[in-house]
Structure 1
Amino acid sequence: MPLDITLFGVQMPTLLPIFFVTALFQILIDRVLADAGVYRHVWHPGLFRTAVFVCLFAIPCIAIYR
C-alpha cells in the first residue's frame, strides 16, 4: 500500500483520511456509549474516550503499515 495518496490533486499521507474516518466513528461510538450510560461506570471519561480513539485509530494503521 502506498504511504501517500492523492485526493483532488493534493498529495497527503495515508494516515490523514484514516484519522478523519476514525474521528467520525469515534463520535458515533461516543454517543452510543453515553446513551447506554457507560460513562457513569468509567473512572475518567476523557481518558476512556482518548483510549478508545487510539485503539480505533491503531487498528487500520497497523493493518496498512504491516
Structure 2
Amino acid sequence: MHQIISIFGIQIPALILIFLFAGIIQILLNKVFADLNIYEFVWHPGLFRTAVFACIFAGFSLIIYK
C-alpha cells in the first residue's frame, strides 16, 4: 500500500520525506564519524557513506511500510 502525505494540499509520497529525513541523519552521522576519525579505518569512505545511508533509508522505510 502506498503511503501519501498531504502537506498544504500537496500530496507527497512518504518515501520522499523518508529520503530527506535519512539524508539529514546521514549528514549528522558523517560529521560524527569524521570527528571520531572512523574513516581512517574504512577502506572506501564514499562506499561506506552510501551503505550507511541505504541502511538508514531502508530501516525507516520498513518501519513505515510494515
TM-score range, shorter chain: over 0.9
Paired with 1:54 and 1:22, the residues of 2 have a C-alpha distance of 9
Match of 1:65 in 2: 65
Per-residue deviation, 1:9: 1.1
Once residues 21 and 63 of structure 1 are traced to their aligned partners in structure 2, the CA distance between those partners, rounded to angstroms, is: 13
- Listed as ranges, the gaps of 5+ residues in structure 2 are none
Q: Where does the alignment leave 5 or more consecutive residues of structure 1 unmatched?
A: none
1:14 has 2:14 as partner: yes
Q: List 4+ stretches of structure 1 deviating above 3 A.
A: none
Counterpart in the other structure of 2:47: 47
TM-score, with structure 1 as normaliser: 0.93
TM-score, normalized by length of structure 2?
0.93
Aligned to 2:25: 25
User: What is aligned with 2:4?
Assistant: 4
Cα distance in structure 1, aligned partners of 2:21 and 2:62: 15
In the aligned structure 1, how far is the partner of 2:8 from the partner of 2:45? 38
Q: Any idea what the Cα deviations from partners look like across 1:2-44, whole Å, max 9, x if unmatched?
A: 6111011110101111111110110000000001000011000
8 Å CA contact retained: 2:5, 2:11: yes
Give the RMSD, CA atoms, in angstroms. Answer: 1.3
